[in-house]
Amino acid sequence: MSDSVLDPKFETLLRLGDNCLVLSQQLGLWCGHGPALEEDMALTNVALDLLGQARLWLSYAGEVEGQGRDEDALAYRRDGFEFRNLLLLEQPNGHYGDTVVRQFLFDSWHQHLLAALTRSTDPRIAAIADKAAREVRYHVERSSYLMVALGDGTAQSHDRMQASLETLWPYTGEWFEPDAVDAQSAKAGWAPAAGSLRDAWHASVDAVLARATLAKPAYAGHQRGGRQGLHSEHLGHLLTDLQFLQRAYPQAQW
Amino acid sequence: MVSAAATAGGLASPEAMLAWLDAVMDPEVPVLSVVDLGIVRGVQWQPAATPGGDPVALVTVTPTYSGCPATEVIARAIKDALRGHGVLEVVVRTQLSPAWTTDWMTPKGRDALRAYGIAPPAACAPGVAPTQVVDIGALMAPREVVPCPQCASRHTRLLSQFGSTACKALYQCRDCLEPFDYFKPH
pLDDT more than 90, % of chain A: 93
What is the fold of A8-248?
Ferritin (1.20.1260)
Q: Do B123 and B67 belong together in one domain?
A: no
Q: Do B79 and B27 belong together in one domain?
A: yes
User: With an 8 Å Cβ cutoff, is A183 touching chain B?
Assistant: no
Flag whether B99 is in a domain: no
Q: Do B18 and B88 belong together in one domain?
A: yes
Question: Cα–Cα distance between B49 and B41 in angstroms, integer?
Answer: 22
Q: Do B57 and B123 belong together in one domain?
A: no
Q: Do B86 and B161 belong together in one domain?
A: no
Tell me what pLDDT residue B138 has.
73
Task: Among B49, B71, B94, identify where a domain stops.
Answer: B94
Q: How confident is the model at residue A3 (pLDDT cuts 50, 70, 90)?
A: very low
Whether A133 shows a pLDDT value over 50: the answer reads: yes
Q: Which of A180, A60, A169 is nearest to A105 (CA)?
A: A169
Do residues A35 and B157 make contact, with C-beta atoms less than 8 angstroms apart? no
User: With an 8 Å Cβ cutoff, is A222 touching chain B?
Assistant: no
| Interface with B, mutate which of A21, A134, A141, A147 (most B CBs under 10 A) | A134
| Interface with A, mutate which of B28, B61, B66, B124 (most A CBs under 10 A) | B66
Q: Do B32 and B58 belong together in one domain?
A: yes
Query: Average pLDDT for residues A120-130, to the nearest whole number?
Result: 97
The burial class, CB within 10 Å (0-12 / 13-18 / 19+), for A101 is buried
In this prediction the ipTM stands at 0.85
Whether A220 shows a pLDDT value over 90: the answer reads: no
* List of chain B residues whose C-beta atoms are within 8 Å of the C-beta of residue A51: 67
Whether A108 shows a pLDDT value over 60: the answer reads: yes
User: With an 8 Å Cβ cutoff, is A143 touching chain B?
Assistant: no
Q: Do B25 and B61 belong together in one domain?
A: yes
Flag whether B68 is in a domain: yes
Whether A240 shows a pLDDT value over 90: the answer reads: yes
Flag whether B100 is in a domain: no
Query: Average pLDDT for residues A43-65, to the nearest whole number?
Result: 97
pLDDT greater at residue A38 or residue A78: A78
Tell me what pLDDT residue A6 has.
81
Question: Cα–Cα distance between A77 and A71 in angstroms, integer?
Answer: 10
pTM: 0.92
Task: Among B94, B121, B146, identify where a domain stops.
Answer: B94
Tell me what pLDDT residue B126 has.
67
Residues A16-44 pLDDT 10s: 999 999 999 999 999 999 999 989 999 99
Tally of domains in chain B:
2
The alpha carbons of chain A give a radius of gyration, in whole angstroms, of 18
Per the structure, the complete domain to which residue B84 belongs is given by 4-94
User: Across the 186 residues of chain B, what is the mean pLDDT of every consecutive 10-residue run?
Assistant: 46 94 93 96 93 93 88 93 94 93 95 95 76 74 85 92 87 95 92
Do residues A20 and A50 make contact, with C-beta atoms less than 8 angstroms apart? yes
Judge: A134–B159 Cβ closer than 8 Å, yes or no: no
10 Å Cβ neighbour count for A131? Answer: 27
Average pLDDT, chain A: 95
